[in-house]
Amino acid sequence: MLRLYRKLVQNNKIAFNFCSQIQKAEIKKDEVPVHLRPYDRQKYEVPSTKLKYSSGYALLDVDPMPRSTIMKISYNLLERLKEVPEHAMYRIYTEEKVKYIMKLTDEVEDIKTLEEEFGHESIEIFIQCYKKELQLVDYMKSSKPWESRPDDLEENENVRLASQKRVGLKHQRLDKPEREQVQFIGEKQKQ
């Protein structure tokens, strides 16, 4: 075993493999995250080699390049989210979700695998739901749920009062009064 190891070291096979792994790790460190890179038309606007004739749903057309559609929606979402304050939990959550979707879309080229990763039967259904996120961002920007209102203090007080345990209720679940036992007609005849 030791002789085999020495031969491999002399031929620089082990050292080469070790160096290549270090170089790969350094390359991954230097990689720019997907959401910070510009849209790469050549990478995403490539039609799939597997033809899909139907989405399987009525009135829902097949998307010829679903990865490009997802990436375009993602970039739009990130751009619109910049108008939401950074401290808002909605922005934080949505940005993380969009970044994750972009990362998956960038890494996975097979559409079937992408459908499984997203947990949808059809990528077209996922795209349709994902487009609604754009409308949701616009709605959230207009309603501004992250800002506190004076009415909220009263509502919080009411919620606090409603959630307190009430003491002295006449009939709790286990304290209900005993009912008198009534014999049924069929039981009287048997006796």
Report pLDDT digits (tens) over 67-81: 999 999 999 999 999
151: phi then psi, degrees, rounded to nearest 5: -65, -30
Give me the pLDDT at residue 45, please.
85
Report pLDDT digits (tens) over 129-179: 999 999 999 999 999 988 877 666 666 777 776 776 666 655 556 666 677
Quickly tell me which residue has 């030791």 as its tokens.
2
The DSSP output letter for 167 is S
Q: What are the residue ranges spanned by the domains of the chain?
A: 1-31, 34-145
Q: Which two tokens stand for residue 126?
A: 């996922």
In angstroms, the CA 3 to CA 159 distance is 76
In angstroms, the CA 19 to CA 13 distance is 10
Q: 95: how many CB neighbours lie within 10 A of its CB?
A: 17
In angstroms, the CA 11 to CA 24 distance is 21
Evaluate if pTM is beyond 0.75.
no
